[in-house]
């Protein structure tokens, strides 16, 4: 009881203070996009202070390092992005590491935020944690309705527990900690490592090499699975809105509409066009397809933001390809 009272007082005090936002995972694909959007919006000029962190600032799998980091920065708000992240093939290889790293990171960040009186935490789930066997479209109420696809069960269960933990912090302590659920994200500063990364950066990197070597572009799997993609800079604008305006504990899907879903073959076609690749495109059907689709509904987002405009997919792919070519030497790969 006593701890709760002290915490609530601290919460009220920080609510009056200007926002001091700590972004864990601030050097990754999503973190860099949020940084760009906040700078463009003049966020710091609005009396907000934003701190973007990398794993070099603290290994968030470690509780002592996490506490030291929060002691140093004393945030009022947290955008929690830090995670072990990978595409289908890394997930299939390292389910145990995805589970353990992410469970430790998430528990350390959420519990430390609570202990230090952080007013609001926005964490990041993913549509790839949804049940494999389900009806479509999937919405926010269906996260726990059945097991995730077997390829990424470690990552998925670790991420699902954030939602469990958020509800429990609200129930026991009145904390307003929530989460967003983006679809497959891509953009500048992605991880372009072919073995470990997601499909779009993987295909962009492979097409870049195939173009140089005059070899075919290898698309893994049959090309038939379907995905919704969100450009990192669109996601960043939505993330900042959630931090400032969205007050539910229940998560919110941040996605383009169901009609924007594309096949992996269409993704490859977009990359080929954006890079002007003229070679052969082949499908390596010995490689896994993963979950066939995870079609998500953005109806809740549309109720809040009916007029939000997403960057057209082909334009976003072109901008990402251009960024990769221009930054080839320093890009993560």
Binding segment for ligand GDP among 70-78, 113-121, 200-208, 245-253 (CB under 6 A)?
A: 200-208
Q: Does 60 bind ligand NAP (CB under 6 A)?
A: yes
Q: Which is nearer to ligand GDP, 117 or 201 (CB)?
A: 201
Residue 136 annotated to the active site: no
Site for ligand NAP in 62-81 (CB under 6 A): 81
Q: How far is CA 84 from CA 28, 154, 155, in A?
A: 11, 11, 8
The angle formed by the CA atoms of residues 320, 305 and 25, to the nearest 5 degrees, is 45
Residues 6+ apart with CB under 8 A from 324: 188, 192, 201, 204, 205, 208, 331
User: Which of 56, 133, 212, 278 lies at the binding interface for ligand NAP (CB under 6 A)?
Assistant: 56
User: Which of 11, 14, 27, 151 lies at the binding interface for ligand NAP (CB under 6 A)?
Assistant: 27
Contact flags string 69-108 toward ligand GDP, x per CB under 6 A:
------------------xxx-------------------
Give the integer Cα–Cα distance in Å for 269 and 277: 10
Backbone angles phi and psi of 24, in degrees to 5:
-75, 150
User: Which of 15, 39, 41, 54 lies at the binding interface for ligand NAP (CB under 6 A)?
Assistant: 54
Q: Does 210 bind ligand GDP (CB under 6 A)?
A: no
Buried-state track 38-64, b at ≥16 Cβ within 10 A, e below 16: beeeebeeeebebbbbeeebbbbbeee
Contact flags string 198-237 toward ligand NAP, x per CB under 6 A:
x---------------------------------------
DSSP track, 122-160: EEE--GGGSBSS--SSB-GGGTTSSPBPGGGHHHHHHHH
3-state secondary structure of 225: coil
Q: Catalytic: which of 136, 155, 177, 208?
A: 155
Would you tell me which residues interact with ligand GDP (CB under 6 A)?
Answer: 87-89, 128, 184, 198-199, 202-203, 206, 219-221, 225, 227, 264, 287-291
What residues are annotated to the active site?
155
């Amino acid at each position: 009881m006593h701890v709760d009272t002290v915490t609530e007082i601290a919460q009220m005090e920080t609510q009056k203070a200007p926002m001091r936002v700590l972004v864990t995972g601030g050097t990754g694909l999503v973190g860099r996009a949020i940084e760009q959007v906040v700078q463009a919006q003049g966020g710091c000029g609005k009396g907000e202070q934003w701190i973007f962190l990398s794993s070099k600032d603290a290994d968030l799998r470690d509780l002592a390092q996490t506490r030291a980091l929060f002691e140093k920065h004393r945030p009022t708000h947290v955008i929690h992005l830090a995670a072990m992240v990978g595409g289908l093939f890394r997930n299939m290889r390292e389910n145990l590491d995805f589970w353990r790293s992410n469970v430790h990171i998430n528990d350390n960040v959420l519990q430390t935020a609570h202990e230090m009186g952080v007013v609001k935490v926005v964490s990041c789930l993913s549509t790839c944690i949804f049940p494999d066997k389900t009806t479509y479209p999937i919405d926010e109420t269906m996260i726990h309705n059945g097991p995730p696809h077997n390829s990424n069960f470690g990552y998925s269960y670790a991420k699902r527990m954030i939602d469990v933990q958020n509800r429990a912090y609200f129930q026991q302590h009145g904390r307003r900690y929530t989460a967003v659920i983006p679809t497959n994200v891509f953009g500048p500063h992605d991880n372009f490592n072919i073995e470990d990364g997601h499909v779009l950066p993987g295909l962009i990197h492979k097409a870049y090499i195939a173009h140089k070597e005059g070899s075919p572009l290898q698309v893994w799997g049959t090309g038939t699975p379907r995905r919704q993609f969100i450009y990192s800079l669109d996601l960043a604008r939505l993330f900042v809105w959630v931090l400032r305006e969205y007050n539910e504990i229940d998560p919110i899907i941040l996605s383009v509409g169901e009609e924007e879903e594309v096949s992996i073959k269409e993704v490859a076609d977009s990359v080929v066009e954006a890079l002007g690749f003229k070679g052969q495109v082949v499908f390596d059907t010995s490689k896994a397809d993963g979950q066939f689709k995870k079609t998500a509904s953005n109806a809740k987002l549309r109720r809040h933001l009916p007029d939000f405009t997403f960057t057209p997919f082909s334009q976003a792919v072109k901008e990402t390809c251009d960024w990769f070519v221009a930054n080839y030497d320093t890009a993560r790969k």
